[in-house]
């Protein structure tokens, strides 16, 4: 047997009531909203909807509210469609931490846990940066063969986290959409998105990303051996711009001319 909401939709005014509630909130906030609610039936057969949380889906940026459409002629580091979790925003990452899917996918279990510890140490050094972190599979999975098994403390300084839905040719893991630490993502206002390399509208310019100097050995000399798996690029603050459109479920990271500066011009850890 399966539990469905067919009866609730067909035999009550729930859909109309919820539509009216969302309309009133939209008008009050002057923006679309996302809500959390509870519905309880009372003894006479009617129901009560309790509004638990309401958040306006505004687009935030370093300059305040902004449009999330990147310039049409902008060069893109990556594009993603279909899974953007969190309010829309425009931010400027100055550090990119990239766990290379094929390299990570070739590691054994112990090595994957070792890379996870490297991620945690990089995160600890990244408090002053706007960090874009990208990696294969399910971030936070307990199974290191499905993704990078971080705890939230290993990524709490990250501004935007991307799970690349790829590992190696024999495994394409399901997306997690941040479910392993959803409450922490909300509290930290961390943007979470997925990139589906085989689907239209999803692409990453790995050649450009790997062309930037890898600072892993500079930041963590003891972990230099993992330079073929973890690539860390520091860039000027205006080199990258991330546009996240939560309503349209699309995201782009554009690259400016400043990104071509040798060494990235970054300020370091």
| 70 is a domain residue | yes
Task: Supply the range of the domain harboring residue 13.
Answer: 6-56
Count structural domains, the chain: 2
Signed CA dihedral, 9, 34, 40, 50: sign only: negative
Is the same domain home to 10 and 93? no
In this prediction, residue 268 carries a pLDDT of: 39
The residue out of 17, 34, 56 marking a domain boundary is 56
Residues 134 and 158 in one domain: yes
* Structural contact between residues 259 and 253, judged by C-beta atoms closer than 8 angstroms: no
**Exposure letters 132-148 (e unless 16+ CB within 10 A, then b):** bbbbbbbbbbeebebbb
Q: Which two tokens stand for residue 89?
A: 């925003």
Identify the segments of the chain with pLDDT beneath 50.
65, 261-269
CA distance 185 to 109: 26
Do 39 and 115 fall into the same domain? no
What does the block give as tokens for 59? 């687009």
- One domain, residues 42 and 68: no
CB atoms closer than 10 angstroms to residue 127 = 10
Contacts of 243 (CB under 8 A, 6+ apart): 68, 69, 70, 90, 251, 252, 253, 254
| Structural domain includes residue 74 | yes
Instruction: Note the pLDDT of residue 269.
Output: 39
Other beta carbons within 10 Å of 102: 13
25 and 110 part of one domain: no
- What whole-number distance in Å separates Cα of residue 75 and Cα of residue 61? 20
Residue 77 sits in the same domain as residue 31: no
Q: Are residues 64 and 50 in the same domain?
A: no
Q: Which pTM was predicted?
A: 0.75
pLDDT tens-place string over residues 30-70: 777 888 899 999 999 899 999 998 877 655 555 554 567 88
Contacts of 74 (CB under 8 A, 6+ apart): 241, 252, 254, 255
For residues 146 and 45, state if they share a domain. Answer: no
Q: Determine, yes or no, domain membership for 250.
A: yes
pLDDT at site 203: 96
Q: Locate tokens 């501004």: which residue?
A: 159
Residues 157 and 216 in one domain: yes
Is 194 found in the same domain as 88?
yes
pLDDT digits (tens, 9 = 90+) for 95-117: 999 999 999 999 999 999 999 99
Asked whether residue 167 falls in the same domain as residue 45, the answer is no
Tell me: do 178 and 137 sit in the same domain.
yes
Least Cα distance to 266 among 228, 239, 246, 242 occurs for 239
Whether the Cβ atoms of residue 264 and residue 212 lie closer than 8 Å to each other = yes
Structural domain ending residue among the three candidates 56, 81, 96: 56
Alpha-carbon distances, residue 3 vs 7, 43, 48 (angstroms): 10, 21, 20
Residue 1 lies in a domain: no
């Amino acid at each position: 047997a399966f539990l469905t909401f067919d009866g609730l939709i067909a035999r009550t005014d729930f859909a109309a009531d919820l539509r009216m509630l969302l309309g009133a909130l939209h008008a009050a906030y002057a923006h679309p909203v996302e809500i959390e609610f509870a519905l309880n039936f009372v003894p006479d057969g009617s129901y009560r909807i309790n509004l638990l949380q309401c958040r306006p889906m505004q687009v935030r940026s370093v300059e305040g509210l902004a449009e999330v459409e990147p310039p049409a002629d902008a060069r893109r580091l990556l594009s993603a469609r279909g899974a953007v979790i969190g309010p829309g925003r425009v931010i400027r990452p100055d550090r990119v931490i990239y766990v290379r899917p094929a390299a990570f996918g070739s590691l054994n279990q112990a090595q994957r846990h070792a890379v996870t510890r490297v991620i945690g140490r990089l995160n600890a050094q990244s408090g002053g940066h706007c960090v874009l972190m990208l990696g294969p599979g399910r971030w936070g999975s307990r199974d290191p063969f499905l993704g990078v098994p971080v705890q939230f403390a290993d990524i709490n300084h990250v501004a935007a986290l991307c799970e690349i839905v790829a590992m190696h040719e024999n495994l394409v893991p399901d997306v997690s959409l941040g479910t392993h630490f959803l409450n922490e993502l909300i509290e930290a206002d961390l943007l979470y998105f997925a990139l589906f390399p085989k689907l239209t509208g999803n692409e990453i310019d790995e050649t450009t990303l790997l062309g930037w100097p890898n600072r892993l050995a500079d930041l963590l000399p003891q972990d230099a051996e993992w330079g073929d798996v973890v690539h860390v690029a520091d860039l000027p603050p205006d080199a990258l711009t991330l546009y996240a459109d939560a309503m349209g479920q699309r995201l782009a990271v554009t690259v400016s001319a400043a990104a071509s500066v040798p060494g990235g011009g970054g300020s370091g850890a």
